């Protein structure tokens, strides 16, 4: 018995378009074109596990992961360009299937984490620390941290790429003592302010790690969450703050 194709609604098509940021997640080409000053969407909705697989496809994919038992579920659909859709279907291969599953699984996990952004708050005073990190007088106040004091190597695993680990370590070495001093000053004005901020970041980290235990993905979600919570003031400053909490608190422990 053949499955009936359920055409996604306009809202569902928009969701699928937005989750790939308007670009084909396979080749990177834009899924829109402009003509006569109007923007037109030019994408197709592909089933990752086929809607009505052939006997050969059933055999090929019999031991492979499925993101949903319902082939028409949004979890099994991906917005792609026509060319990549055609290549994926003709002929279907294990390698491409696994690649598409990996792409869609990450999209689903990212969306699950982003759903929690609004539920986790951060103290307003963190914005003051971000502003000070952009101060022109910062160089005069910087005190390098001894490399012997770093805990990063003891806390990360193979899911954190070396280049990102290096960036985090550099941020800690450059800014640790300066950020620490700023939090001490905040605590003088409002006792336990640092502990409150640390607990908020730890709570969001714990929620992220429950959904995806890849440290690279979790790190960037914490940065993205902090950036949104501080009005997109400075993403590089947010990266430095997160590096500080990786070093000094229970993030990545």
Q: Are residues 129 and 241 in the same domain?
A: yes
Predicted confidence at residue 198, as pLDDT, reads 93
Predicted confidence at residue 50, as pLDDT, reads 96
Query: What is the total count of domains within the chain?
Result: 2
Q: Are residues 102 and 205 in the same domain?
A: no
**Interacting residues of 72 by C-beta distance below 8 A, sequence separation 6+:** 3, 5, 6, 47, 51
Full residue range of the structural domain in which residue 213 is found = 117-248
Q: Are residues 106 and 91 in the same domain?
A: yes
Predicted confidence at residue 147, as pLDDT, reads 54
Instruction: Return d(Cα 211, Cα 63) in angstroms, integer.
Output: 24
C-alpha 111, offset from chain centre: 8
Q: In percent, how much of the chain has pLDDT > 70?
A: 92
Determine, yes or no, domain membership for 239: yes
Q: Sign of torsion, CA 227 232 233 236?
A: positive
Task: Inform me whether the pLDDT recorded for 148 exceeds 60.
Answer: no
Q: Are residues 109 and 122 in the same domain?
A: no
Most confident of 78-87, 167-176, 179-188: 78-87
Residue with tokens 């030019």: 42
H or E element at residue 44: strand 44-47
Lowest mean pLDDT among 127-141, 155-169, 190-204, 226-240: 127-141
């Amino acid at each position: 018995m053949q499955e009936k194709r359920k055409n996604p609604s306009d809202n569902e098509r928009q969701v699928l378009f937005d989750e790939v940021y308007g670009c084909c997640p396979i080749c990177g080409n834009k899924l829109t074109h402009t003509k006569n000053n109007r923007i037109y969407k030019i994408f197709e909705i592909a089933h990752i596990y086929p809607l009505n697989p052939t006997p050969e496809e059933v055999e090929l994919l019999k031991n492979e992961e499925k993101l949903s038992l319902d082939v028409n579920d949004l979890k099994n659909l991906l917005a792609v360009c026509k060319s990549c859709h055609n290549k994926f279907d003709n002929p279907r291969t294990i390698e491409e299937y696994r690649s598409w599953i990996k792409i869609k699984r990450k999209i689903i996990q990212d969306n699950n984490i982003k759903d929690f952004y609004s539920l986790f708050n951060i103290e307003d005073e963190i914005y003051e620390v971000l502003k000070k990190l952009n101060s022109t007088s910062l160089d005069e106040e910087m005190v390098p941290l001894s490399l012997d004091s770093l805990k990063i190597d003891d806390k990360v695993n193979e899911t954190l790429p070396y280049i990102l680990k290096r960036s985090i370590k550099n941020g800690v070495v450059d800014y640790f003592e300066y950020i620490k001093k700023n939090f001490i000053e905040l605590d003088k004005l409002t006792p336990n302010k640092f502990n409150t901020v640390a607990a908020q970041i730890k709570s969001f980290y714990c929620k992220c790690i429950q959904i995806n235990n890849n440290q690279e993905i979790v790190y960037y979600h914490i940065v993205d969450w902090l950036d949104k919570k501080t009005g997109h003031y400075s993403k590089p400053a947010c990266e430095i703050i997160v590096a500080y909490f990786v070093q000094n608190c229970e993030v990545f422990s």
